[in-house]
Amino acid sequence: MRKAKIERDTSETKISVQVNLDGEGQNRIVTGFGFADHMLDLMAFWAGFDLNIKCSGDLHIDAHHSLEDIAICLGQALAEAWGDRKGINRVGCAKVPMDEALAEVIVDISGRPYLVYLGDGLLPPIISGQEKDLWREFFKTLAFNARINMHIIFHYGQNGHHLVESAFKALGLALKEGLSLGRKQVLSTKGSLD
């Protein structure tokens, strides 16, 4: 079973993340920041994961610590759940429209973390009461803790909610494709992944 549970308890946040990569998109996400709940639910639903996240954080400051620490825990849970990655397709990509917006996400579940984040100049400075950089930091932290190469491209759009939503849906679909079991071996000419 490709499942994992990660917990984190600091002076800023207390977090529990459980993921089942072979679930049915059944999610219970409570971060204290409704927009984040919505985005994470979309990602997991489109990926086909079962995802449970519970976070109690210092939202009286802002959502930065909560979202960054959620990304740490979620990334670690994903990395643990997919294990040695034997048999996965490894690479996934998706473009998803949301009304006037279009985002594209490409992932390589390679063990070599990196984030490319293009087109974020389209995002308004504030989205759902938080600075737009919150999302770049979330994706960066997720990529590095999950140890995946992630490219996010905002092609066009005007509404911040729509742009971010299209990226989360595309991330879910890209992860679903990359984690699909369609091979017999580790997909690397080296014979192993970092």
Amino acid at 46: W
Please check whether residue 192 lies inside any domain of the structure: no
Please check whether residue 191 lies inside any domain of the structure: no
Sign of CA pseudo-dihedral 75, 81, 82, 84: positive
Please check whether residue 14 lies inside any domain of the structure: yes
193 pLDDT band, cuts 50/70/90, is low
Whether the CB-CB separation of 88 and 183 falls below 8 Å is answered with yes
pLDDT at 186: 63
**Is residue 186 helix, strand or coil?**
coil
Give 52-75 pLDDT, tens digit per residue.
Answer: 999 999 999 999 999 999 999 999
Please check whether residue 84 lies inside any domain of the structure: yes
Domain interval for residue 15: 3-179
What is the H or E stretch that residue 75 is in? Answer: helix 64-82
Which one-letter DSSP state was computed for residue 61?
A: T
Q: Select the more confidently predicted residue: 183 or 63.
A: 63
* Concatenated DSSP letters of 98-119: ETTEEEEEEEE-SS--EEEEE-
Amino acid at 62: D
**Mean pLDDT over residues 128-141, rounded?**
97
CATH number of 77's domain: 3.30.230.40
Maximum C-alpha span of the chain:
49
Please check whether residue 186 lies inside any domain of the structure: no
Which one-letter DSSP state was computed for residue 106?
A: E
Please check whether residue 159 lies inside any domain of the structure: yes
Q: Look at the chain and report how many structural domains it folds into.
A: 1
What does the mean pLDDT of the chain come to? 94
pLDDT at 88: 87
Q: Where do we find the tokens 């140890």? A: 147
Please check whether residue 38 lies inside any domain of the structure: yes
Please check whether residue 189 lies inside any domain of the structure: no
